[in-house]
Structure 1
Amino acid sequence: MPRLIDHEERDREIAEAALRVLARDGLAGLSVRNVAAEAGIATASLRRAFPEQDALRRFCLEHIRQNATRRIERVRGDGRMAVLAVLEELLPLDEERRIELTAHLQLGALALSSGQLRPVLLEFNAAIRELCVRLIAELERAGELRAGADAPAEADRLHALVDGVALHLLWEDGPEERRQAVGVLAAHLDGLR
């Protein structure tokens, strides 16, 4: 009797292997052969699923987006504490998120010159911007946004801040730097009151 394949689990394993390859070896290392070896599956099997490099790259970005969405959806509560918890999910505060951000930046650099990858990255960026809009709206709903604040401008600032803090954590990653990064976001949210 043939073994049943859990396609969802297999896809997750392939995506995580591809992200590890990207984070460790960069774009030059992202090949079907290297990902197959990292995932422990046959190269021919992976090549059937991803006949071209751009398909594998888009798959990686979609996996990163899905993981971030899943983590964010698990956040409970409301007001400032919930907003801070959501923002923390966008930071590389653990190895999984560090690998995701490193892979995202590798693919982002390629998207500057890739007509197929650029729209995917722009959509990803727009989703983070929209999340920031919703977070500012949550602060406003909870009475934690100062009266007369320009909500769209605050969402843009929040987006830029979280992107910048995340990038800094890639260069300087230690317990103190992680605490400081969360502290910067918390102080910004306090300044919005």
Structure 2
Amino acid sequence: MPRLIDHDERNDVIARAAIRVLTRDGLAALSVRNLAAEAGIATASLRRAFPTQDALRQFCFDRIRDAVATRIAALSGEGTTLVLALLLELLPLDATRRVEFVAQLQLGSLALTDATLQPSVVSLSQDVRRACTSAVAELARCDALSAGSDAELEAERLHALLDGLALQLLWEPRADATGYATRILTRHLDSLTG
């Protein structure tokens, strides 16, 4: 009797393996052969699931997006507390988020010359922008946003801060990265609400 494949489980295994390969060995190593070996599955099986490199790379982007969205959806609270938790979730502050961020950068660098990946990179950036817009809207909803603030501009400014802070945390790891990021973000939120 043929063995039934749990496609969700297999995709989870492949996604984790792909992120490990990207983070550890770089984009050049993200091949069907290397990924199959890392995931412990047959090369032919992986080729059936992802017949092209583009399909495999898109899958990686989608899995990162889904993982972040799931974590954000699980957040609770309101006002500044919720906003700070949301923003911290978008930074490489633990092993999981760091690995995801490195994988995004690896794939994002390829998108500079590969038009098929550019929509995925733009879409991820738009996701962060939407999160920043939601953060500012949450401050406004709770009457915490300073009167006369330009919510759209503040969301853009917050997005720029997050992008820069994420790169800084990647290139200059800190023993107290979460505390550092919290202080920076809290100071920025104070400027929006003061």
TM-score (norm 2): 0.96
Match of 1:73 in 2: 73
Aligned partner of residue 59 in structure 2, secondary structure: helix
- Which amino acid counterpart does residue 86 of structure 2 have in structure 1? V
- Which amino acid counterpart does residue 131 of structure 1 have in structure 2? A
Matched, 1:144 2:144: yes
8 Å Cα contact 2:93-2:177 kept in structure 1: no
What's the CA shift for 1:127?
1.6
Number of residue pairs matched by the alignment:
193
8 Å Cα contact 1:72-1:89 kept in structure 2: yes
Q: 1:111-151, CA deviations, whole angstroms, 9 ceiling, x for partnerless residues?
A: 01111100111111112111111110000111111000000
Alignment of 1:172-187 (within 5 A): 172-187=172-187
Q: Distance in 2 between matches of 1:68 and 1:177?
A: 19
Match of 1:127 in 2: 127
8 Å Cα contact 1:88-1:182 kept in structure 2: yes
Q: Distance in 1 between matches of 2:11 and 2:149?
A: 44
Alignment of 1:33-182 (within 5 A): 33-182=33-182
Residue identity over aligned pairs, in percent, reads 57
What's the CA shift for 1:174?
3.0
8 Å Cα contact 2:15-2:63 kept in structure 1: yes
Q: Distance in 2 between matches of 1:99 and 1:155?
A: 26
Aligned partner of residue 175 in structure 1, secondary structure: coil
Matched, 1:7 2:4: no
Q: Distance in 2 between matches of 1:102 and 1:109?
A: 11
- Which amino acid counterpart does residue 126 of structure 1 have in structure 2? Q
- Which amino acid counterpart does residue 116 of structure 1 have in structure 2? T
- Which amino acid counterpart does residue 5 of structure 1 have in structure 2? I
Aligned partner of residue 176 in structure 2, secondary structure: helix
TM-score (norm 1): 0.96
Superposed CA RMSD? 1.1
- Which amino acid counterpart does residue 136 of structure 2 have in structure 1? I
8 Å Cα contact 2:75-2:82 kept in structure 1: yes
8 Å Cα contact 2:72-2:89 kept in structure 1: yes
8 Å Cα contact 1:14-1:39 kept in structure 2: yes
Q: Distance in 1 between matches of 2:132 and 2:189?
A: 12
Matched, 1:29 2:29: yes
What's the CA shift for 1:2?
3.5
Q: 1:9-64, CA deviations, whole angstroms, 9 ceiling, x for partnerless residues?
A: 21111011101100111111111111111111111100111111111111000000
What's the CA shift for 1:177?
3.1
8 Å Cα contact 1:22-1:30 kept in structure 2: yes
> Which segments of 5 or more consecutive residues in structure 1 lack a partner in the other structure?
none
